[in-house]
Amino acid sequence: MNALSRPLLALVVVLAAGCAAIDPNGIITRRLAEGAETISPVPGGASGKLDAATRAAAFDYVWRTIDERYYDPKMNGVDWKAAGEKWRPQVMDAPDDDAFWDRLDRMAGELRDAHTRVESPKRAQLIERAQSVSLGFSFRPLGDALVVTNVNGESDAWWAGVRPGMTLATVEGVPAKDAYAKLLAEARDSSSDHAKHVMATRRLLAGEVDSKVAVAFTRSDGSLLAATLRRIRYTNPPRVMHRLLPDGSAYIRLTAWSQNLEGGMIEAIRAHKDAPAIVIDLRGNPGGSGLMVRNVAKQFFKGEIKAGRALTRTGKPITLAFDLIEVIKIDQLLEGTGLYAGPVTILVDNDSGSASELFAAMMQAQKRATVVGQTSCGCLLAYMGYAPVPGGGKLAYSEVGFILPDGRRIEGTGVVPDVAVPIAPEDLRLGRDRVLETAVAQIARAPKPEPAKSASDKAPPK
């Protein structure tokens, strides 16, 4: 969640001048740290490995910060002290730095919260640069098979012939189902089953650039495709695009709620303000700025809207400057602009998370949009920025929860679509976008507003 504009942040930094009362939640210090080099010098000697003192400092910082600042004082029902006692020896005895950061993150995972996490220096650097390292395909359980759902056209997987709709057969000679079960067992817990699935598959798909994995896939005709795939670094800058669909409806695709895209998103809505309907595609959108969500959502309302309530550790707003500036208010109100008054359809899938869920749930709760697709991630909490961890890692910890006006919480359950469209392997093989097809069909079936009568129509007969 990105709640501060740069000018406001600069002003508060000047005012703060070392006064902790100005910044009780450490928001400013985290923002300042984001501009620093991710991988900080490590007091571990020429080897560059974390020494025992740095490991201990990192562990203590993560455990204590979560204990003192997590949004839920009941710690999501978890005995956090016991979790620390369980994980401390495992973290300290990790055989290498990669295992150290992984185990520290798995301790954070005890809270079953996708937003509370520890990023290693390597992963933190990739996130800052909007990059990822991957084998270039994704898969998920569908029925009793692990089905390929997406393949990057730049990947070795694509050029080896891997296509959506195939099933994963083996990984390094191990039956895929057994390999996947092991990945799930080793993955950190998270907000939902799908969120844990994402953590599990990352353990296979991500890794060091140019490292390789031998995999095999089964085609629809039963034949086998075996390949050794290389992990590649990809750059994934967030973007917004829009166009008219053949039926005349507007289509807007947003890949992340990145604050620098707010103007482009609102401009896309303005460009189609006269369209008979707007489809907003948030599939695969993991979230981002809560402030952007508010500013985009208000384009679809007139007047003041009660969007829900925020949950904080103290039950009070999150503030700066001796409580003079409310960064996060408890009562979430929107002052609509009325830019677009027509029908809205929002497309979501299991990978729509966080800010995407906030937008979809808010619009759905106000009966301002129809949600189509699959149930979203169930990962709706918020943090105010990464905190630097001794040794070069980054810590995110949830500081805000959300309750919709109707009392619903999305965290752990997800946004349930008004019109569910399950993923079908045959659609994947055909490249058929049944979710978008269903949305367009829904728009076509919706009642059309009656045209306004002209003055001559209203005049009484002579």
pLDDT of residue 457: 53
Residue 376, pLDDT score: 98
Q: Is 99's pLDDT higher than 70?
A: yes
Angle made by CA atoms 98, 99, 105, in degrees to the nearest 5? 95
The Cα–Cα gap between 12 and 6 comes to 10
- Check residue 118 and give its pLDDT: 98
Please state the rounded mean pLDDT for residues 20-39: 57
Lowest mean pLDDT among 23-27, 131-135, 173-177: 23-27
The whole-number average pLDDT for the span 177-192 is: 97
- Kindly give the interhelix angle for 80-92 and 97-108, rounded to the nearest 10 degrees: 170
8-state DSSP, 259 = G
The yes-or-no verdict on residue 13 having pLDDT over 50 is: no
pLDDT for 27 equals 65
Neighbour-count burial for 195-226, b at 16+ CB within 10 Å, e otherwise: bbbbbbbeebbbbeeeeeeebbbbbeeeeeee
Which pLDDT does position 318 carry in this prediction? 83
For residue 74, is it left (φ>0), alpha (ψ between -120 and 50) or beta? alpha
Question: What's the pLDDT score for residue 354?
Answer: 96
**Model confidence at 279, in pLDDT bands (50, 70, 90)?**
very high
Residue range 31-41: mean pLDDT, rounded: 48
**For residue 181, what pLDDT is reported?**
97
Domains of the chain (ranges; CATH) run 131-235 (2.30.42.10), 240-445 (3.90.226.10)
State residue 33's pLDDT score: 55
> How big is the CA angle at 336 (ends 363 and 274), to the nearest 5 degrees?
80
- Choose from 22-31, 122-131, 272-281, 402-411 the range with maximum mean pLDDT: 272-281
Percent of the chain with pLDDT over 70: 85
Q: What is the pLDDT of residue 322?
A: 54
Provide CB contacts within 8 A for 182, sequence distance 6+.
none
Nearest CA to 355 among 251, 461, 255, 225? 255
pLDDT band at 49 (very low <50, low <70, confident <90, very high): confident
Q: Is residue 327 very low, low, confident or very high in pLDDT (cuts 50, 70, 90)?
A: confident
Average pLDDT on 112-139 reads 95
Q: Is the pLDDT of residue 25 over 80?
A: no
Confidence of residue 446 (pLDDT cuts 50, 70, 90): confident
pLDDT at 4: 43
**Bridge pairing between strands 318-320 and 325-328:** antiparallel
52-76 average pLDDT score: 97
pLDDT at 409: 95
Q: Using CA atoms, how far apart are residues 377 and 362, in angstroms rounded to an integer?
A: 15
Helix, strand, or coil here: 327?
strand
27 versus 87: the higher-pLDDT residue is 87
pLDDT of residue 461: 52
Give the percent of the chain with pLDDT over 90: 81
Residue 320 confidence (pLDDT): 72
Helix 80-92, helix 52-69: angle, nearest 10: 160
The arithmetic mean of pLDDT across residues 408-426, rounded, is 97
Let me know if 14 is exposed, middle or buried by CB neighbors in 10 A (0-12, 13-18, 19+). Answer: exposed
Q: Is pLDDT at 48 greater than 90 in this prediction? A: no
Q: How confident is the model at residue 85 (pLDDT cuts 50, 70, 90)?
A: very high
Tens digits of residue pLDDT in 201-245: 999 999 999 999 999 999 999 999 999 999 999 998 999 999 999
Question: What number is the average pLDDT over the span 264-278?
Answer: 98
Determine contact, residues 380/158, Cβ cutoff 8 Å: no
pLDDT at 3: 42
In the predicted structure, residue 46 carries a pLDDT above the cut 50: no
Ramachandran bin of 338, using left for φ above 0, alpha for ψ from -120 to 50, beta for the remaining angles: left
The answer, yes or no, to whether residue 452 has pLDDT greater than 60, is no
Given a cut of 60, whether residue 171 has pLDDT beyond it is yes
What confidence category does residue 450 fall into, taking pLDDT thresholds of 50, 70 and 90? low
Q: What is the mean pLDDT of the chain?
A: 89
pTM of the model: 0.88
Please, which residues have CB within 8 angstroms of residue 419's CB and are 6 or more apart in sequence? 370, 371, 372, 438, 439, 442
The pLDDT tens digits for 346-377 are 999 999 999 999 999 999 999 999 999 999 99
Q: Is a pLDDT exceeding 50 seen at residue 326? A: yes
340, 363 in Cβ contact below 8 A?
Answer: no
Helix ranges (H only) for 139-297 are: 156-160, 176-186, 193-205, 262-271, 290-297
pLDDT of 36 strictly over 70: no
